[in-house]
Amino acid sequence: MTMEQPDAIVHQPVRLKIMAALNPLPAREALEFLRLRALVGATDGNLGAHIGTLEQAGYVEVEKDFVGKKPRTRVRLTKAGRRAFEAYIEFLREIVGAS
């Protein structure tokens, strides 16, 4: 199946970086927010907003808990998120192959 246009949710650069960072992880494995922030190079607020958009689209799941008294946020790709990322990469491959 060929996409006519890239997925607008994935296409945004920060969200693409988030998904690229999460995609290599085994299914159900998550990255902590602080690690993801370091990988993506975004501010807390910017990263949080983009994670919210991905969560609303069903592409990531966010888990919040505590380690001792410190809050912890972890993010993982959903099956839908993995499919969307793979479709986006395939879209890019088709563009590169078509030129």
pLDDT digits (tens, 9 = 90+) for 5-44: 899 999 999 999 999 999 999 999 999 999 999 999 999 9
- Cα(85)–Cα(73) distance, integer angstroms: 22
- Report the residue count for the chain: 99
Q: Is 77 helix (H, G, I), strand (E, B) or coil?
A: strand
pTM for the model: 0.90
**Which one, of 64, 90, 84, lies nearest residue 12 by Cα?**
84
Structure tokens at 38: 């370091």
Residue 71: pLDDT band by 50, 70, 90 thresholds?
A: very high
Task: For the chain, state the CA radius of gyration.
Answer: 14
Domains and CATH numbers, the chain: 8-98 (1.10.10.10)
Token readout for 47 is: 């990263």
